[in-house]
Chain A
Amino acid sequence: MSKPESLSLLEVRDIRKVFIDEDFQTPVLKGVNFSLRRGEMVAMLGPSGSGKSTLLSILGTLMRPTSGSLRMLGSELTTLAERELSDFRNQQIGFIFQYHHLLPDFTALENVMFPHAGRLWRETRAGRERAAMLLERVGLSERMNYRATRLSGGQKQRVAIARALMNQPALVLADEPTGNLDRENADQAFALMQEIQRETGTTFLLSTHDRELAERCERRIVIQGGIVVDGAEPVTHRTDSTGGLRMIEGDVAVVIDHTRVPNSSDDRRRA
């Protein structure tokens, strides 16, 4: 591949994760390879138990892989110490979760500011202004001083999106961000993420079961049985992206259909 270095955001090479529980060893990731380019919006698909959440935790530096390499923005993350990881996470990665969106005892504004104020150990005017701006961007400037518990599910998730963007991260990881929302709110949240991705050039990686949303992403990475089976690399040439994308979309649709039958995909691969 001869794409310019500056376009590459994340290189995942042969990531393995084995959970050891007393005498049992459970390999969850069995050599994951893929890369993300700056500014992409990528969906990650795969059946439950395929290792999506584990992979997201590893990408978000919340969990260390058993082996493999994780290069982001030129740094090898697997060798960083806990404190450096925490700092890296704070600066470069935003998280959006399915449940537990917000800290319930804090207002929407405080929730959004938290990653910034927590790093500096104090609130700043600049942080407050940026948080207010982000809340305005997600359409919640009216609810700025509401406690998190007083917001609706969709509103909470929009606050969570704003919070993920607080420190201007290079990568936002979203684990089933719309899984807990109704159709209307899910669409709204997704559209918001898409708009922000386009405006800011932030890379989004969304794990989702929602095929409709996945199809609206630029690319789909498909994980099955602990490895990436499709969509590992970005489309190399923008010029013929339209044709390429369509073709890949077709492939994904087929794979997803296979995942509906438990284990059938694994059997197919072993065969």
Chain B
Amino acid sequence: MRFDLKVALRYLTANRLQSALLIGGVAIAVTVFTFNAALINGLAEFQIDRVVGSSAHVTIEPARIRPALAPALDGTERLVVSQVALQRREQIKQWRTVEQIIDTLPGVTGVSYNILGTGLLSRGEQTLPITFKGVEPARLGAIAPIDQNIVEGEARLGINDVLIGRKLATDLGLRIGQPVLITTDQGRTRTLTVRALYATGVDSLDARLAFVNLDSARVMFDLPEGLTEIEIKLADIYAARDVARQLADSTGLEATAWMDKNQRLREALEGQGSSGNIIKMFTLITIVVGVASALLLTTFRRRPEIGIMRSFGISQRFVLSVFMLQGALIGIIGSIVGCFLGWSFSTLLANIGAASGRRLPVDPALGQYDIALLLAAAASIAAALWPARAASRIDPVEAISQ
């Protein structure tokens, strides 16, 4: 064993209580760090899961028609007034080509070719504005797991069928098998039969959306060939931006990743993330302050001994190393204990949550233990630097005559 390590260990074991307190302090800080990470990341994961679980990861929409503009003269400003061409419906006409492109993409777990449109859903006197989503019956559950969340009826989407959320059904007093009258914004009317009710827990799906067969949607919304959107689900949700860019480049259509569609979610996650980072920063500061002050005290108490060592020619580097190693040992042992405690605590809470049915969004796997270990050890070593330098610079004559 290196002799400086032996001396450092001897000093740590010589004052067991102080060392235990120091290691305990680092451990608690690391526990807070890792538990905080498990909570914030678990919460983010939970929120993302809720959003992403029932919506598309990449959405392809028709390209916006942007009028070409003549270049402005130097030093002048220009005012552009553009009017959306009402006669031209925005639609994806060449979707068969896009389908071929999507089929070659790796990591795609689901695709849905949709026609979205708005209309009124009436039953008797009651009328509600609703978004209709025309999908291929086989792909009903491709994006939101509608087929798995049927609470009444069967997940069948015939040409005259409509699937609605349980909330909407309650609002309108609808039951399975009842006919409803639909008037679309294209002025078409059609009577469909309520085939099933679903409940996903996502309000935008359960109260404001109705699923119809893609072929009926073509008629209802007067789109004999085109689509209004293509939705894609990916195995790796964080690849969404890359996939969206790739699709936009290769198709010329608008492709948007989920994180760019959900501005609010992103802001919420960023806010949580930065408040989590502040907590983590404070835990690191706690480590630095605690370790530095304790080691400074040790340095002071051991002044005569350091003086004696220096008197028999022990180098300043050796003394420096002994005290740096003490900091490193405290940091490493403390953070290992802390990681274990943080993991245990997160696991305990996650299990309690699971047992009581109200799942807490703590994910013990997301405790960032590697980062905690690295940072806590680095913080301890950094904290040891000042006391160690002070120790190595002790004037032996002064220290011995103390």
Residues of A within 8 Å of B397, CB to CB, are: 57, 62-63
B315 within 8 A of A: yes
CB contact list, A18-54 vs B, under 8 A: 53
Task: Using CB atoms, name the residue of chain B closest to A103.
Answer: B305
Contact with B311, one of A95, A119, A122, A167 (Cβ below 8 angstroms): A95
Contact A103 B6 (CB under 8 A): no
Q: How many residues of A contact B (CB 8 A)?
A: 36
CB contact list, A94-137 vs B, under 8 A: 94-95, 97, 100, 102-106, 114-115, 117-123
Residues of B within 8 Å of A115, CB to CB, are: 312-314
A93 within 8 A of B: yes
Residues of A within 8 Å of B315, CB to CB, are: 83, 86-87, 118-119
- Min CB–CB distance A103 → chain B (angstroms): 5
CB contact list, A63-105 vs B, under 8 A: 63, 82-83, 86-91, 93-95, 97, 100, 102-105
Contact B400 A121 (CB under 8 A): no
A50–B268 Cα distance when bound, in Å, is 76
A57–B397 Cα distance when bound, in Å, is 7
Contact with A100, one of B4, B10, B307, B316 (Cβ below 8 angstroms): B307
Contact with A105, one of B1, B14, B304, B401 (Cβ below 8 angstroms): B14
A163 within 8 A of B: yes
Residues of B within 8 Å of A93, CB to CB, are: 312-313
A60 within 8 A of B: yes
Contact A123 B313 (CB under 8 A): no
Most buried by B among A53, A86, A120: A86
Contact with B2, one of A105, A121, A167 (Cβ below 8 angstroms): A121
Residues of B within 8 Å of A102, CB to CB, are: 308
CB contact list, B348-402 vs A, under 8 A: 396-397, 400-401
Contact with A118, one of B3, B11, B14, B307 (Cβ below 8 angstroms): B3
A132–B401 Cα distance when bound, in Å, is 29
Contact with B312, one of A83, A89, A120 (Cβ below 8 angstroms): A89
Contact A118 B309 (CB under 8 A): yes
- Min CB–CB distance B9 → chain A (angstroms): 10
Residues of B within 8 Å of A89, CB to CB, are: 311-313
Contact B310 A62 (CB under 8 A): yes
Residues of B within 8 Å of A97, CB to CB, are: 308, 311, 400
Residues of B within 8 Å of A120, CB to CB, are: 3
Chain B interface SS verdict (over half): helix
B318 within 8 A of A: yes
Residues of B within 8 Å of A164, CB to CB, are: 312
Contact B314 A118 (CB under 8 A): yes
Most buried by A among B6, B307, B312: B312
A63–B1 Cα distance when bound, in Å, is 33
- Min CB–CB distance A125 → chain B (angstroms): 14
A106–B11 Cα distance when bound, in Å, is 9
In the complex, besides A83-B316, A100-B307, A121-B318, 20 extra interface pairs with C-beta distance below 8 angstroms are A83-B315, A86-B313, A89-B313, A93-B312, A100-B308, A104-B14, A104-B305, A115-B312, A115-B314, A117-B3, A118-B3, A118-B309, A119-B315, A121-B3, A122-B1, A122-B3, A123-B6, A164-B312, A166-B312, A167-B313
Residues of A at under 8 Å CB distance from B?
Answer: 53, 57, 60, 62-63, 82-83, 86-91, 93-95, 97, 100, 102-106, 114-115, 117-123, 163-164, 166-167
In the A-B complex, the 3 residue pairs with the closest CB atoms: A90-B313, A89-B313, A105-B14
Residues of B at under 8 Å CB distance from A?
Answer: 1-4, 6, 10-11, 14, 304-305, 307-316, 318, 396-397, 400-401
